[in-house]
Amino acid sequence: MEHCDLIELFDFLGKKWAFMVFSNIDENGKSFNELHNLMGKKINQTLLSERLKKMQEFGIVRKQDDYYHLTNSGRELKVILHRVKDWSITNTLVIPDKCHGKECVCHVIASNTLSIQH
């Protein structure tokens, strides 16, 4: 992966809902509706579709029989992101209480008890 590709991936994962959508796709795969429900139906369906399409373009997710599955590189990325999550817990990463007048995705993550599995 070139340096620019890595920057593009980090930029994408930093977009609203992208990380959460990716994190909720497990080994069994998830349907569009399952992912939408896991987000508490707070994500716009058009945005969810765009995020999933972009993940397919990055090659970290594939769609098969109306289910979204992690690719081999997606599974590898999930392990890495799990390590980043562990780092943030160990280093007491501070998450802002307010998100500039908008609902924080972090609040949805906390309410759904999101965990990244590897």
Poorest-pLDDT segment among 7-16, 31-40, 86-95: 86-95
pLDDT digits (tens, 9 = 90+) for 35-55: 999 999 899 999 999 999 999
Residues 21, 25: Cα–Cα separation, whole Å: 7
What is the average per-residue pLDDT within 26-31?
Answer: 94
pTM of the predicted structure, to 2 decimals: 0.76
**CATH top-level class of 3-111:** mainly alpha
40 Ramachandran zone, left/alpha/beta (phi>0; psi -120 to 50): left
- At residue 74's C-alpha, the angle toward residues 69 and 76, to 5°, is 135
Domain boundaries, the chain: 3-111
- Average pLDDT, rounded, for the chain: 83
pLDDT digits (tens, 9 = 90+) for 56-85: 999 999 999 999 999 999 999 999 998 988
